[in-house]
Structures are given as structure tokens and as C-alpha cells.
Structure 1
Amino acid sequence: MHVKDNIWKLYIIKGIMWFMVAMPIIVLFFQENGLSLQEVMILQGSYSLMVALMEIPSGYIADLFGRKKTMVLGTFFCFIGFALFSFSFGFWEFFLAEILLGIGNSFISGSDSAILYDSLLQSKQTDEYTKIEGKTYSIGNFSEAGAGILGGFLADISLRYPWYVQAAVAALAIPFAISLVEPQVKFKKIEKSFKAILQVVNYTLVENKLLKWFTIFSAITGVATLSMAWFAQPFFKDVDIPIKWFGILWAILNISVGLSSYHAHRLESLLNRKILLSFIGLGIAFCYISLGFSETKWGLLWILMIYLIRGVATPVLRNYINEITTSEIRATVLSVRSFIIRTCFALTAPFLGWIADIYTIGGSFLILGVLVGGIGFLCSWKLIALSKQ
């Protein structure tokens, strides 16, 4: 087996892990098992918190012991989590399943991009990273789109059937993770200590100014796009879209992300970095603000635009971060980025949800637009200034 084979294997792993058959019916499933909406949100908060807490340690473990090993652990934990969901009927069983999924996904997060970049580094193909990362991301979104439609049909038979399929599909990722080849890129292994983790965090967010602002910019756009994943369905409901269309719209949005991420490398080659960063930051902010003033079905166009920009932002910003990061700390740095996204989302989501409950969902969109626009402008200004030095 050659390190180049990692690329198509990572495509398959991404497609499997994003084949979220149960996602369109997850709230209905919990409620059918006697959970209140408050308990449902506690479960989701527990998952996000676990991912956030494990992000940096998991990236450190990947840098220390190898990305392949953490990928195997991650796929195994996800399989156990989904399997537990399929046979659970109460809050605490679901809680344990969420914790297992949080651990599993945090092990995969960062390790997949790190092993991809180092595989390309060994093969002297790093100039292809944005293209391949974009293709990987698009495969995930196409997979999620198809899974959403299938999940709707399965749920029509039984709300538990999607979970059986989900567990079976997740198991398929394990042998592909085991078959990955650890890239033989020469770099100094980081030391085995908690102090070493703090040193990488300090390097990412304090010492390396360029990396710091790229990470913050990537994080704020990540929070914005993650928020839309949760606020899209309430918006559908507010503008009186029939529930039977939810799955189809979800599929369309994921396909749009897949298409834009697939072609992200083309946009990166056409536009200079300053213009592309401005397009991502100000584009998301403009769409959110416009959506805040839209209370009709026309608002769907602004949601679609946010998803299209998301497809470009993810592979492009990861590439920028990878370009200025050394191999021995790559997974940890990418995990710092994910940690910031999850933590910021965990802090802002309850407040934005409260605004939507007390006032309107449009108010939440306006706040997000102002936050993304302000922080995005600051990051772009800092990055442009640093690039001139």
C-alpha cells in the first residue's frame, strides 16, 4: 500500500461518516422516547461540549502517536455511539451515546486533514491540497444529502430504522481507517506532556501572528456556518414551508456546499488572498443581515448563499492554515481551530436561541451578521497588514 492510497480512502471515510441517515428525524426520535425538548438540547449541548473538550487533546494525541491510530479510534467510538443509540430508550443511555460520538468525532477532526496534507507532502503534491480537501468536503455533503432523503423514507416505517442503518454504515469506516498508511514525513515528535499542548496553543494563538488571525477568521466563519445548520429548520417553519419539504431542502443545501467546495480550488487560483478573505467574511455577514430583514420564502436564497460560501471557506481556510503550520503540530493546530468553533458555538447558541424565542429569529440573524462582519473585517485587516511585512 502506498501513501497516495490514503486519498481515496479518506474520500470513502468522509462519505461514510457524513452519511447521517438519522439526522433529519433525531428530535422526533428523542421525543418518541419520552424526552422533552429541553432534554434534547441538553444532549446536543453535551455532545458539543465533549467535542470541544476533546478537540485539542485528540489533536495532540494524533501528533504524538500517529494520525492513523486516532482515526481508527475515532471510527470505532462513532460506531459504538451509533449502535448504542439504536438500542437505547432513555435519557442517560442517549447521553452516554452522545459522549461516545463526541469523543469519536474529536479524534477524527484534525487527524483527517493532517494525514491528508502529510500524505500530499510526502508525495510532493501539496499544491493539490485545496482541490482534494474541497473534493473530500463535497463528498461528505453529497453523502449527507442522500442520507437525509433515505432517512425520511426509513422514518416513515419506524423512527428507529434510521439508527440501525446508521450504526451499520458507521462500522464500514473502521476497516478503511485501519488500512490507512501513516505518512513518513520527517519531523521532530512533540514531547509527551500537558505543557507541550499548551505550548502549541500558545504558538497558534499568540506567537505566530499570521496563524493566530487565520485561526480566528476560520473559527468565526465556522461558527456562522454551524449556526445556520441549526437555525435553517426553524426558519423553514417560520415561513410556513411544509414539513415534507424539509428533507428536500436539506439535501439541496448540502449539495450546494458539495458543489462549491469541489470547485473551491478554482476560485482560490482566480482570486488573490485578500479578495477571497473579504468575499468569505463580508459575504457571510451580508447574507445574515439580509436574512434578518427577510421574513418570506425569499430568505431561502440567502441561506443558500451562506451554504455556497461555506463550501469555499472550509477547504480554502484549512489550506491557508496548513501552509504556515509544520507537520509535527499540524493536527493539534487544526484541533485548536475546531475547539474555538465548538466553544464559541456553545457560548453563543443559547443566547441566539433565546433571542429567537423572545423576539424573532431575524434578530438572531442580525446579531450573527454584525459579529461575523466585525470580527471578519478585523481579521482580514490584520492578515493583510501582516502579509505586507
Structure 2
Amino acid sequence: MFYGHRSNIINLYLIKFAKWFNLIMPIVVLFYQDNGLNMQEIFWLKSIYSIAIVAMELPSGYFADVWGRKKTLLAGAILGAGGFAMYSFSHGFWAFAVAEIVLGLGHSFVSGADSAMLYDTLKASKQERTYIKQEGWITSAGNFAEAIAGVCGGLLATVSLRLPFYFQFGVAAIAIPAAILLREPKIHLHEKAPNFKSILQTVKQTFTHQYLRSALLVSAFTGTASLTFAWFVQPFFQEAGLPLTLFGVMWTLLNLSVGVSSMFSYKVENRLGQRYALLTIILGLSIGYLLAAWKISLAGIAILFWFYLIRGIAHPILKDYINRYTQSEVRATILSVRNFVIRINFAIIGPLLGYLTDHFSLSSALLVTGISYAIVALISAIPLLREKR
């Protein structure tokens, strides 16, 4: 039995809380617009953030596998807090861009390492079969934190659109002591750390293993679709005519729906099995995009809840599919490959979708994204859909 099991999970909850208690997200588009940015410039900022993540994603996964998950998570926590400190006093596109780069580097050190720490913590305790449940509960806790933050951020924004950023720095700093208190699972400490050349070889081999490749690509394309949809929510609220005072409330309710469905994702997978769980995720998210494009109105906000419920189910299930086919000594690297694909996808399509929104319509951007996701996700999922478990 790995006796750091409980303390690790508690500290991973705290790291997730610090990452997801996002006071700025419900009002960040309004904040950017208040500083003179249009939607295309906003998507450019998020592309810069994604490029920063892409630049460090694979190296950070390697660091997590070689240096240890704990050190990597600590580096990510420090950079995350530093990025929000910079944002608190920044004005204009280029100053925001620098803060986004620091935040992107911090994100890359946390992504992959956190799930790898969780899976190997459970594996050291011979409880890896509970991974979907634990990942679902941690994801759920993160979404509940983001839901509560939606109300708090909305209230703070009524005083000043910059005030949520000041408080966000304090929240992000919580991850620093939590990372310090983590303990490396013995299963990881006792395994020989691969060199960077072997890591690159592993990444190459990933795309020759049909089931791992399929799981990674489906998860990455689904992550891209979820990330993109989140940036459409506030423009959707604006175009639907939702009062600003309700932005935080609706953001809270959306994230509560993700939190609830994440808690039961393991039951969905157990009940439906791999094939039908995958189809439910892919078709459910695609339909959400198409319906959102069709009905931009106050009544259409109900469609957003459909999307967020499916999103909550998707995250733990798809990460578990990746972990099933991945060895512990390269787990963080492989999970970083997933995040690498998500961010490079978003860096490419983000400005294009911003252009579509500014020069055509929000409906056009939603429609294009939904159709594109359905096509690439279904093609990528073919090996897993055919697999007999």
C-alpha cells in the first residue's frame, strides 16, 4: 500500500482548485473588450497562450517523467501564480500577450503531470481500476470550484473588471504549497528514467499503436472542441441578450452541470461500454455545436447545458483510454502529447474562428466547428469503435 495515497489525492484536489477556481473567466471577454480588443484579437491572445503551451508541452512531460511529477507541478504552480500577478497590472494587447506566455508555460508543466501523478498514485496502491472514478471526482471538484468562482468573479467585476485578476493571483498561489506536499509514488521512483531520445521514440511509437493513437487523437480533438466552445459562451450570452449581472450566475450553473456529470462518468462508461460511450461523447458534442448555431437566444442557453453535461462525461473517460495503453515511465509525456495536439489545434483554428465571428456571425463559427469536430473525431475513433474488449 502506498501511504501517500490519500495526501496526494487531497493535494491534487487543491492544485485542481487553484487551477479551476477561475474568477476571471466569466468576464474576461468583457475585460478584453474594455481594453479595446475585438474578438479576433482575443482569439489571437488565446492562440499565443496555446503556442506557449505547445512550445513546452513535450519537454514538460519529459521533465515530469525524469525529474518527477512533484517538481514539475511545483514549477507549474509558481509560473501560474506569476502569470496572474503580471496580468493584474497589464494593459493592452502586447502586455496581455506576455502574461499569456507565462501562464501558458505554467499550464504546460501542470497538464499531464497531474493526471500521471494521480494514475501512478492509484497504481502504487493497486487501485488503478478506480482511475475514471477518481479523475471524474477531481474534475468534478474543479468544475464546482469554477462554478462558485463564476458567481464570485461576476460580483467582483461589478466593482471593477480588473479586480477579479487581483484575487486570482491569491487563488493560483494555493497550488504552490499543495505541490510541495506531494509525494512521488514508489512505482515512478523505482523505474528507470528514460532519456529524451527514448521519449521522442516513444512519441513516435505512439502513432504506430493504433489503439493508443486513436485514444489520444479522440481525446485531443474533443479537448479542442470543449476549449473552443468555452470561448464562444460569453459572445453567445451577449448575442442572446443575457444581462451582464447574470453572466456569472449562468457560468456557475454551466460548470455545476459539468461537475455533476463528471462524478458519474465512470457509471456511464460501465453501463454503455467503450463503443457506445465514445459515440455518445462525439455525437453529443457535435449536436451541441449545431443546435447552438441554430438557436442563439435566451431559450437557446439550454443547449449550452447539453454540451457541458456531455463535456463532463467525456474528460475522465477519454483520459482513461489513454492511460490503459500507456506505460508509467512515459505516462506524463503521452498525456502531454494529448495536450500538445489540443493547443496546436486551437492555435491554428482560434484566429480563424475569431475572424468568422467578427466578419460573418457567431452561428457560422459554431456551425463550422461542430461539423469539423464530428468528422475528425469519428475518423480518429474508428479503431476504438472496432475494438472488442
TM-score bracket for this pair, using the shorter chain length: over 0.9
Match for 1:44: what amino acid?
A: K
Which residue matches 1:328? 329
**Shift of residue 377, structure 1, vs aligned partner:** 2.2
CA contact (8 A) 1:57 1:197 kept: no
Please show how residues 107-256 of structure 1 align to structure 2 within 5 Å.
107-185=109-187, 188-193=191-196, 195-205=197-207, 207-256=208-257
Taking a change above 3 Å as real, the CA distance of residues 226 and 40 of structure 1, as seen in their structure-2 partners, is closer
1:51–1:102 Cα contact (<8 Å) kept: yes
Structure-2 separation of matches of 1:157 and 1:295: 29
Which shifted more, 251-260 or 374-383? Answer: 374-383
**3-state DSSP class of the match of 2:192?**
coil
Distance (whole Å) between structure 2 residues aligned to residue 32 and residue 348 of structure 1: 24
Question: Partner residue of 2:343?
Answer: 342
Q: CA deviation at 1:92?
A: 4.2
Counterpart contact for 1:4–1:123, Cα < 8 Å: no
| Deviation for aligned residue 1:293 | 2.3
Amino acid at match of 1:258: G
Residues 191 and 329 in structure 2, CA contact (< 8 A), matched pair in contact too: yes
- The letter of the residue matching 1:356 is T
Q: TM-score, normalised by structure 1?
A: 0.93
Q: CA deviation at 1:196?
A: 3.0
Q: CA RMSD in A?
A: 2.0
2:101 paired residue number: 99
Q: Does the residue aligned with 2:4 lie in a helix, a strand or coil? A: coil
Does 163-172 or 23-32 show the bigger shift? 23-32
CA distance in 2, matches of 1:322, 1:245: 39
Alignment of 1:282-293 (within 5 A): 282-293=283-294
Partners of 1:44 and 1:109 in 2: CA distance: 17
The code of the aligned residue for 2:161 comes to L
Alignment-derived partner of residue 19 in structure 2: 17
2:54 equivalent among 52, 55, 80: 52
**Deviation string, structure 1 residues 208-262 (Cα, Å, up to 9, x no partner):** 1110011111111111111110111112222222222221111111110010001
Q: What is the rounded CA distance, in whole Å, between the counterparts of 1:36 and 1:128 in structure 2?
A: 45
Q: 2:52 and 2:384 mapped to 1: Cα distance?
A: 31
Q: How big is the shift at 1:91?
A: 4.5
Tell me if structure 2 keeps the 8 A contact 1:4–1:119: no
Shift in CA distance, 292/40, structure 1 to aligned 2, threshold 3 Å: closer
Task: Report the Cα distance in structure 1 between the residues aligned to 2:31 and 2:293, rounded to whole angstroms.
Answer: 31
Partner of 2:304: 303
What letter corresponds to residue 344 of structure 1 in structure 2? N
1:94 and 1:356 map into 2 onto residues whose CA distance is 21
Cα 1:29–1:270 change in 2 (3 A) is same
Query: Greater relative contact order: 1 or 2 (C-alpha under 8 angstroms, separation 6 or more)?
Result: 2
Q: Which amino acid aligns with 1:177?
A: A
Give 3-state SS (helix, strand or coil) of 2:291's partner.
helix
Q: 1:218 to 1:95 in 2, by over 3 A?
A: same
Count of paired positions: 386
Q: 1:3 matched to which residue of 2?
A: 5
User: Can you give the 5+ residue segments of structure 2 that lack an aligned partner in the other structure?
Assistant: none
Structure 2 match to 1:359: 360
Q: Which moved more, 1:61-70 or 1:195-204?
A: 195-204
Letter paired with 1:147: A
Counterpart for residue 368 of structure 1: 369
Shift of 1:16: 1.8
Q: Is the 2:278–2:385 contact (alpha carbons within 8 Å) kept by the matching residues of 1?
A: no
Q: Distance in 2 between matches of 1:262 and 1:71?
A: 24
Q: Is the 8 A contact 2:225 2:369 kept in 1?
A: yes
Aligned to 1:26, which of 28, 37, 58? 28
Deviation at 1:115, TM superposition (A): 0.3
Question: How far apart in 1 are the matches of 2:255 and 2:308?
Answer: 8
TM-score, normalized by length of structure 2? 0.93
Q: 1:374 to 1:43 in 2, by over 3 A?
A: closer
What is the DSSP-based 3-state SS (H/G/I as helix, E as strand, rest coil) of the residue aligned with 2:5? coil
What CA deviation, in whole Å up to 9, does each residue of 1:16-40 have, x standing for no partner?
Answer: 2211112233344445556666654
Aligned residues of 1:54 and 1:103 also touching (Cα < 8 A) = yes
Do 2:8 and 2:183's aligned partners in 1 also have CA atoms closer than 8 Å?
Answer: yes
Moved more, 89-98 or 367-376: 89-98
Structure 1 unpaired stretches of 5+: none
In structure 1, distance between residues paired with 2:11 and 2:300:
38
Partner of 1:383: 384
* 1:148 to 1:274, Cα distance in 2 relative to 1, 3 A: same
Q: Secondary structure at the match of 1:285?
A: helix
Q: What's the CA shift string for 1:173-212, capped at 9, x where partnerless?
A: 111110000001056434333x33421221222x211100
- What letter is aligned with 2:195? K
Task: Confirm or deny: 8 A CA contact 2:48 2:347 kept in the other structure.
Answer: no
The residue number in structure 1 matching 2:74 is 72
Could you say which residue in structure 2 is the equivalent of 1:63?
A: 65
Distance 1:179 1:310, change over 3 A: same
- Give the fraction of aligned pairs with identical amino acids, expressed as a percent: 45
Q: State the AA in 2 paired with 1:191.
A: P
Q: Name the aligned partner's letter for residue 308 of structure 2.
A: Y
Please give the alpha-carbon distance, in whole angstroms, between the structure 1 residues aligned to 2:285 and 2:20: 24
Is the CA contact (8 Å cut-off) linking 2:46 and 2:347 kept in structure 1? Answer: no
